[in-house]
Amino acid sequence: MADLKKQFEAAVANSKNLSDRPDNSTLLKIYALYKQATTGDNTEKKPGFTDMVGRAKWDAWNGFKGTAPKDAMQQYVDLIESLS
């Protein structure tokens, strides 16, 4: 787990330096995996209909409900490596 944590932290740093900006769906997946890895399941109230960005982020994060944080970390690392 310590190695995975280090890989995750490195991937978070690398995510800020990607050569090309990912598309919106990929950015949402990056966000959702990060939140799942660091916070766990989404327990926040769903944003209102007028908050489209907040709602999209909430939906993306909620899509990983039940995913173990270490699994989310590994998926995050794999995704960032595939984009680098």
Provide the CATH number for the domain formed by 2-83 in this structure: 1.20.80.10
CA 73 from centre of chain = 8
pTM: 0.90
* Nearest alpha-carbon partner for 79 in 27, 35, 39, 42: 27
pLDDT for the residue 63: 95
pLDDT along the chain (84 residues), means of 10: 88 90 93 96 93 96 95 95 89
CB environment 32-45: b (16+ within 10 A), e (fewer): bbbbbbeeeebeee
pLDDT of residue 1: 64
Alpha carbons 35 and 64: distance in angstroms, whole number: 9
CB neighbour list of residue 7: distance below 8 Å, 6 or more residues apart: 73, 77
Locate the domains of the chain by residue range: 2-83
The pLDDT of residue 19 is: 86
Structure confidence at residue 33 (pLDDT): 97
Selection from 14, 15, 67, 59 nearest residue 39 by Cα: 67
